[in-house]
Structure 1
Amino acid sequence: MKSLTLPFLILSVASAHAFADNELVKTQSHSDVSSTASRLVTLLENKGMTIFATIDHSDAANKIGATLRPTQLVIFGNPKIGSKLMQCQQSIGIDLPQKMLISEDQDGKVWISYNQPHYLAQRHHLSGCDNVLKKVETALNNFAKKAAQTNNP
């Protein structure tokens, strides 16, 4: 029984900040969805990323008379990185550009979610792109962490 307690405790503590679920990485934000999305866009732009779109899913739902907790999707990328990934396996283009979903759950907590890069590598049978994938993973993690903090732009 003791062997289950420590891993459970570690998982419980880790899940309050960031965790992977269904090949999604989730980081809890300390702001509302709109502020978090705005901070994320600013961070991405400051790093030279192209913002292709910001989609407000809850606004779209409202327009058809449906109710949806605050949910925004930010679609962004950098052709210098995406092209390298597609040179390894062109089919990964279906999952590019990158996306981050900022959403409020049923408990009022706000989460930043994105695809685990290694999941995409497995999905598309990438080989020879380990260094690029590591850079992507680090960058996405840093963007999510910084966007989740309230003291960033």
Structure 2
Amino acid sequence: MTSTNETNTNNNEPRGSSHPEAHLPADLEGQLAHFTGTESVYGLGPLFRNAVYTDGVNFLIEKAACAWLVTDAMAWVVQKGPGKNYDDGFMTVELHPKEEGAADLVITDGNGTTLYTQHYTAHTFPLTNGIKMYAVWGEFSRGPAWMLMLTSEY
């Protein structure tokens, strides 16, 4: 993966509607599956110097208005460093929406062990089945960092 562009999620324009599904492509899940790599690496801002994300995650942030999900997950992930306080360079980041409008953010080690859980009493994530992404430790133009990517981009 190359680092050709770096932008900041804080530069996203605010949504005009409080209903994110009004901005969604007809088949968001299908469109997300088409991301199989990345040409650009996006930064999360100065508080997240060791976190980047891919084109697919950028598309998800823009179409589903879910920068909150990425920043919430990465705020926990970036505290871990392989060889320091975490032995592996891989985690899963999952959002599990509930029928009553709540959701759970679950971060695992990829082998079934839950490392962190955050409960939301309400959320705006439009995909009823939720989403699973991977956080992978690697070396990038800005140095070592966690990269958040769609599962199809791994």
TM-score between both structures, scaled by the size of structure 1: 0.30
Q: Which has the higher strand share?
A: 2
Which structure's residues are more often helix, by fraction?
Answer: 1
Query: Relative contact order (alpha carbons < 8 A, sep ≥ 6): 1 or 2 greater?
Result: 1
Considering only CA atoms, is the larger Rg found in Structure 1 or Structure 2? 1
